[in-house]
Copies of this chain bind each other. A is one copy, B any other.
Amino acid sequence: MNIITPKNLSGFMELVPKEQVLFEKIKQKLEETYRLYGFYPIDTPILERSEILLAKTGGDTEKQIYRFSKGDTDMAMRFDLTVPLAKYVAKNYSELTFPFKRYQIGKVYRGERAQQGRFREFYQADIDIIGDGELSVMNDAEVPSIMYHVFTGLGLQDFTIRLNNRKVLNGLFELYGQSEHATDVMRIIDKLEKIGADNVRAELAELQVSAEAADELLALLGFKGSNEEILEKLRAFAGRSEKLDLGVQELSEVVYYMGKFGVPETNYRIDLTIARGLDYYTGTVYETTFNRHPEIGSICSGGRYDNLAEFYTKKKLPGVGMSIGLTRLFYILNEFEYLNRSLATSADVLMIPMTDDMTAAVEISAKLREAGISTQIYFEKKKFKHKIGYADKLAIPYAIFLGEDEIRDNQVTLKKMFAAEDDAEKQVTVSVEEAIARIRGGLAVRKEAKCIRIPE
């Protein structure tokens, strides 16, 4: 038979099992955390009508999209989870209760030029809270706080959630007479970190922003200080622009309540240079940087918007959300060797029967599983070395040997696969109940272990 070389399309991540199991653990931790805050899961089709996905056209989206026809239907693969959310909320409006809190973790598609660390199929993990007509700014404090708990729950500590508010920026531009091209100014400011102050000044000059105004703006926006110090600087403008005052008020509330949500001051800070290019955002905006790797850019971003679904409904649906590029994050963690590979196993116990009759092995394994212990039985007729090597390769923490003696005595031989050489209890022959108790004790320690482990 003709053999076809089994290869994937480029830009499509496919993990080997010991990586996949960690990816799943991370995904579960996200879901678990989102649910802890009362978010509903949703799941939308990967294929949608092109007219739905491309309602808001422009930019690179159309070039990158996977679009095709079948019969007389023009369809495309989703390129983010925001457009499907907008469609979902407009379509199911009468079935939803607002504020509507939803998470969605799903694959999205972008036919970009493939390059290292860039994916054409990748998971996004989004949370959004959608209001009907209005939505309290408290939600703007809750959303990044949830992300804080997601990252620390995974074992990541060394990150900063950076906050800004578009009303603050717009208010300042008003004061500096730049309202007309606020969006352009914002786009330029947004590049501050990337291109440096001089280039920003040059680009602003092209927009006829005076050198003096540019300097004042850059000094203010680039000011480094505690959240309270930055808020103090902004409060000095009080009474001069309604928009600015409102923005400062919102930013103050977000900063105050994030603390109450349990986010330590060291993990979030106001950064007035963050604008999030998209026109879409109207209030709070967020980016999240990995302190020791600023070069990888934001690992979790989002913000507040006034109108989620204007292309699909006349209802005003404001919302706030953040998104994690999960596939890219996983890729980076894997590259940096920050994943806790000791958790990458298929089972807690490998049951190794030493007799031809498997009855006892099957029955004892059932007891282990009833006790919540994941148990795989090695059924194949292989040499002992091969069987124990299997547990070793799969990083299974416990092996149980079940020979004629054990079966006769109603016992099992329990071996800790990765015990220290001098561990006196490395291998013991005990009753099934005692084995279960010992395994559970060992697993409880493992359960505390986080998916991400960053060396000091």
Contacts and interface: CB of A to CB of B under 8 A. Distances in A.
Interface of A: 1-9, 12-18, 20-21, 23-24, 35-49, 51-52, 55, 66, 68, 70-71, 73, 75, 77, 86-88, 90-92, 95-97, 99-102, 107, 109, 111, 121, 131, 134-136, 138-139, 142, 257, 260-262, 309-314, 346-347, 350, 358-359, 362-363, 366, 369, 372, 374-377, 379-381, 390, 393-394, 396
A134 to B, nearest CB: 7
B14 A107 contact: no
5 contacts: A6-B86, A37-B376, A38-B374, A131-B380, A138-B358
Contacts of A109: 47
Given A55-B4, A131-B380, A92 B139 contact: no
A320 to B, nearest CB: 11
Nearest to A344: B40
B261 A36 contact: no
A359 B141 CA distance: 12
State the oligomeric state as a number of copies: 2
Contact of A9 (B24, B75, B346, B379): B75
A360 to B, nearest CB: 9
A142 B377 contact: yes
A428 to B, nearest CB: 22
A374 B136 contact: no
Contacts of A358: 138, 257, 260
A314 B4 CA distance: 10
A73 B260 contact: no
A21 B41 CA distance: 6
Given A12-B47, A121-B47, A393 B97 contact: yes
A139 to B, nearest CB: 6
Contacts of A8: 45, 48-49, 91
Contact of A6 (B90, B111, B260, B372): B90
Nearest to A378: B99
A20 B43 contact: yes
A131 to B, nearest CB: 7
Contacts of A46: 46, 107, 121
B4 A51 contact: yes
Contact of A17 (B42, B99, B121, B261): B42
Nearest to A37: B376
Contact of A347 (B38, B42, B51, B374): B38
Give the 8 A-B residue pairs with the shortest CB-CB distance, closest first. A38-B376, A38-B347, A68-B68, A138-B379, A17-B40, A6-B91, A12-B45, A6-B312
Given A12-B47, A14-B43, A23-B43, A374 B6 contact: no
A87 B15 CA distance: 13
Nearest to A362: B260
Contacts of A121: 45-47
A90 B100 CA distance: 45
Nearest to A34: B374
B40 A366 contact: no
Contact of A381 (B44, B107, B136): B136
Given A20-B41, A394-B97, A312 B5 contact: yes
Contacts of A359: 257, 260
A48 B66 CA distance: 13
Contacts of A48: 8-9
Nearest to A86: B6
B312 A4 contact: yes
Contact of A7 (B91, B99, B374): B91
Contacts of A396: 38
A347 B262 CA distance: 20
